[in-house]
Amino acid sequence: MPKVTLKKLAKILGISPATVSKALKNYPDINENTKKRVLELAKSLNYQPNSLAQGLRNNESKIIGLVIPEIVHHFFSNIISGVIKAAEKKGYLIIILQSNESYEQEKSHLKKLMDKNVDGILLSLSDTTTEYKHIKQVIDRGIPIVMYDKISKLISASKVIIDDQKAAFNATQYLIDTGCRKIAHIRGDLKPQTTIDRFIGYKKALAKNNIEFDASLVYNCKGLTFNEGYKIAKKIINDHKDVDGVFAFTDLVATGVLKRFRELDIHVPNQVSVMGFSDWFLTKITTPTLSTVHQPGYEMGQEAFEVLYRDICTLKKGLKIIPEIIEIPTYIVPRNSTKKLPKISK
C-alpha cells in the first residue's frame, strides 16, 4: 500500500496540504469540523508524520551519534543504556558506532555522523587518539560534541567525567589502610587521560603514606583484557615475591590476575590483595569476589545526553555554548579480594 502523505489526505478531503497540517497540529484558525474530518481520515488511513521532513523544516534531525571505544566493555554497555533512556524522553534516535580503540575508525565515524546531519555527538576517545583535528572540524561545523569518560583537555567542549585521580587514590589508599605496603599497579596505554590520571592517583596515595614509589611495580597492558591480567600476574610474582597488593586499571584485568594467582597458589587476600576498577557484574562472581571502584556508567550516559541536549538547545537559540564539566562521583566497593579495614576502637 502506498505511503499516506499530507498531499494525499488533502486531495481526498478537497483542501490544501497546509490546512491538513494545521488541523493535525490543532491550530486555532482551523474550524472544528475540518479538524475532525482530518483527524478521522488520518486515523483511518494510519497516517504517520514524516519526521525527516519535519526535521529538515526545523533544521534538526532528532538524531545524535554515540561513539564508544568498545561495546563489549560492561561500563560502555551501561553508558549506552543511560544515553538511550535519556534520549528517548526527548524523542531522539541514537546512532551507535564503535571505534575499536582506533583513531582512524574514530575519525571515519565522525565524518559519517556529520554527513548524516546529526544534531550532536557523544564521544569517548580511542586509546590511539593523540591528534584532534577531526573533532575540531565537527565543532567548526556547528555540531556540538560532548566528551565522556576518555577525554582530552585540549578540546574546548562539554565533558562528563569521573575524577580518575581521586578514584585511583582512594583505591590505593584502601589497600594501604588494609595493611598493604608493596602495591603493584597494572595500568593501561600511556596515552589516554584516564590512564594517566589513575597512575597519578596511585602515586599520590603512596606519597601520602610515605611509601617510596618503585617504577618496577608498574606494569603496562598492551590491551585491557583478561589475558593481559593473567600474563602480568605471573610476572608480578616473579619480579616481586613480597608484593602484597595489586591495583588494576580495570576489573577485566583484575579478574585475569585473580585466576593466575589461584593457579600459582597465591592466596587472595591473605598474601596479596587485589583491587579492580569499574564494578562490572562479574566482580560479584569471581573467586574470591573482587573489590573495586564503582564507576557509574549508566548515570554518566544519562548525564552526557542531558549536557548534549542543553548544548543543542543553546545553539538553536543562536547562543554560544559555554563548555561545562560534569563530574560523576565514584566509591569503593569492598569485597573478598581485599582484607577488611581495621576496626577503629571507640
Q: Which three cell numbers stand for residue 178?
A: 588494609
Strand 245-248 relative to strand 292-294, pairing: unpaired
- pLDDT at 236 (0 to 100): 98
Rounded Cα distance between 244 and 181, Å, is 7
Dihedral sign from CA coordinates of 109, 111, 117, 118:
positive
| CATH topology assigned to domain 6-49 | 434 Repressor (Amino-terminal Domain) (1.10.260)
Cα(9)–Cα(17) distance, rounded to whole angstroms?
Answer: 8
pLDDT band at 17 (very low <50, low <70, confident <90, very high): confident
pLDDT-based confidence at residue 56 (cuts at 50, 70, 90): very low
Give counts: helices (H), strands (E), the chain: 12, 12
Task: Give the CATH number of domain 164-294.
Answer: 3.40.50.2300
Cell of 140: 567548526
Question: How far is Cα 185 from Cα 171, in angstroms, rounded to an integer?
Answer: 11
The pLDDT score that the predictor gives to residue 51 is: 53
| Pairing label, strands 292-294, 331-333 | antiparallel
- Binned at pLDDT 50, 70 and 90, residue 55 comes out as low
Q: What is the pLDDT of residues 265-295, one digit of tens each?
A: 999 999 999 999 999 989 999 999 999 999 9
- Per residue in 94-149, pLDDT (tens digit) is 999 999 989 999 999 999 999 888 999 999 999 889 899 999 999 999 999 999 99
Q: Report the distance separating Cα 251 and Cα 255, nearest Å.
A: 6
User: For residue 220, what are the β-bridge partners?
Assistant: 187
Cα gap 333→174, rounded to integer Å: 10
* Domain topology for 61-162+297-330: Rossmann fold (3.40.50)
Determine the pLDDT at residue 25: 78
Tell which residue, 97, 93, 96, 137, has the closest CA to residue 114.
Answer: 137
Terminal Cα-to-Cα distance of the chain (whole angstroms):
79
Q: Is the pLDDT of residue 307 over 90?
A: yes
Q: Give pLDDT tens digits for 214-235.
A: 999 999 988 778 999 999 999 9
Q: Is the dihedral of CA 230, 235, 238, 239 positive or negative?
A: negative
Average pLDDT over residues 173-197: 91
Can you spell out the DSSP letters for 142-193? T--EEEESS--TTS-SEEEE--HHHHHHHHHHHHHHTT--SEEEEE--SSSH
Among residues 55, 19, 57, the alpha carbon closest in space to that of 39 is found at 19
Task: Enumerate the domain spans of the chain.
Answer: 6-49, 61-162+297-330, 164-294
Position 346 scores a pLDDT of 52
Asked if the model's pLDDT at residue 20 lies above 70, the reply is yes
Average pLDDT over residues 14-32: 84
The reply to whether domains 6-49 and 164-294 share a CATH topology is: no
SS3 labels along 181-247: CCEEEEECCCCCHHHHHHHHHHHHHHHHCCCCCCHHHEEECCCCCHHHHHHHHHHHHHHCCCCCEEE
